[in-house]
Amino acid sequence: PFWPQHWSGCPAGAGCRGAPLTAEAACSRPPSALLRLRRSPVETPCMAADSSRPVRVLCLHGTCSSGAVMKKQLSRMQPLLKGQAELVFVDGPLKAEEDNPMRAAQERFFKGMDFFDFARWVKDDKADSESLKFWGDMMMKYPDTDDLAAYLEKHRDLHVKHSVERQYEDLDEALEFLQEQLHKHRPIDGVLGFSQGANLASLLAAQAEAGHGANFSFVVHICPARPGWVQQRPRLFKKPIPMRSFHISGRKDQNPPFALRHLYENPLCFMHEDGHRPVPGTTIQEANRVVRFILDFILGRPLDLPPPEPEPAPCEAAEEEAAAPARTTADAAGKAGARTGGPRELAVVVSVNRDLGVVFEFTVQAGTTVFGLKEMIAWQDPTDSLSPEGLALKLPDAQDALVDTQVLTEALVNLDLCEL
């Protein structure tokens, strides 16, 4: 049923639709009524790029994060935009919980910042416990993250089986908030989400195609989880979404690769070599390649993507896990040491300003897993007088020692000592 009138300022005019309302009630409908807007023609990315305004992209951050954090994570894109595209960053409506497992890492590298969520996930103690046990066992068998990634590529069904399907407690409120953000920051041509933001972006895309929300024309999903939320909104996902979609995953991410591509018609996919990160920290060349792919997709340009990787054949989980050789941290450290021809522990020294003598020192142990940095040996807070020009970064044998350079760089960016 159509509304007899629309609320003052509604951009869709008489095209609004929703629950039956009297004319008097319809006039006072709040902006959240955008959840029920009829779809109307909007600009495509190419149309926007050729017009007087840039393509506008709503960027949704991950769990226990913020718009400011995501802006830092995507800062490598900023010099490439050149007025062709504009990234709009927003904070989730919920303060991140103190016991969030991501909070300690976030506070370490983004000191003094606030952290938010768009929604609280449904906690499944049994599934979470089984998943944690699987990943703990895998990291014991394969301390070298390259070996673990290779094993999971070969046995993709294990990767999917032991990744929790994510659902959300307050999904209605989260979607209403996000629709209000699409309205507040209009015009929005597309949505880019990382982690939790990528999860919710699929719901916004489904709403747009179903005519139940603000319309936009493309979506970018980076490192999403398995879509348990489809079971919460099955009517939105009855058929593949025809919207343009780009799916980016990390080869070392615990979330399975391209977890949402089956929700779309003709998805484009790319795998970077790092873990759960919007932009890989492996090499500068790969980081630049990823952000260039994202920008080209946003602007509607053709992407020179590598050919899609074939799906691996299923395997019997019990047999494969039993056959997996036990690996120790010492084994991995010895392997990394053999590659570098150097010691098992390498010093990483960041000299911020030689005149002031401010130095960051880390010890990196070859073969460390997941995050790469073993421990911080000493940390001296820089003074306000330091400038980015005073930064000199020295990473001996960084690549072979599995140093996570993006983690290190993000820490420095947070102190305004350099730019990503």
Q: Give the pLDDT score at 33.
A: 35
Cα(251)–Cα(159) distance, rounded to whole angstroms?
11
Q: How many residues does the chain have?
A: 420
Question: From residue 13, how far is each of 18, 39, 305 by CA, in Å?
Answer: 13, 11, 41
Q: Give the pLDDT score at 157.
A: 59
Q: pLDDT for 166-218, tens place per residue?
A: 899 889 999 999 999 999 999 999 999 999 999 999 999 999 999 999 999 99
Q: Give the pLDDT score at 137.
A: 58
| Residues 414 and 273 reside in one and the same domain | no
In a domain, 274, yes or no: yes
- End-to-end CA distance of the chain: give it in Å, rounded: 51
Give the residue from 282, 299, 316 where a domain finishes: 299
Place of tokens 């010691």: 343
Residue spans of the chain under pLDDT 50: 1-47, 49-50, 312-405, 415-420
Q: Looking at the 3D structure of the chain, how many domains does it have? A: 2
Q: Give the pLDDT score at 340.
A: 37
Q: Give the pLDDT score at 306.
A: 86
Q: Give the pLDDT score at 151.
A: 62
Q: Give the pLDDT score at 53.
A: 92
Domain extent for 277: 55-299
Q: Give the pLDDT score at 158.
A: 55
| Residues 372 and 289 reside in one and the same domain | no
Q: Give the pLDDT score at 217.
A: 96
For helices 171-184 and 196-210, angle between their N-to-C axes, nearest 10 degrees: 70
In a domain, 245, yes or no: yes
| Residues 240 and 374 reside in one and the same domain | no
Q: Give the pLDDT score at 257.
A: 82
Q: Give the pLDDT score at 109.
A: 78
Q: Give the pLDDT score at 80.
A: 92
pLDDT above 90 covers a percentage of the chain that reads 36
CATH number at residue 191: 3.40.50.1820
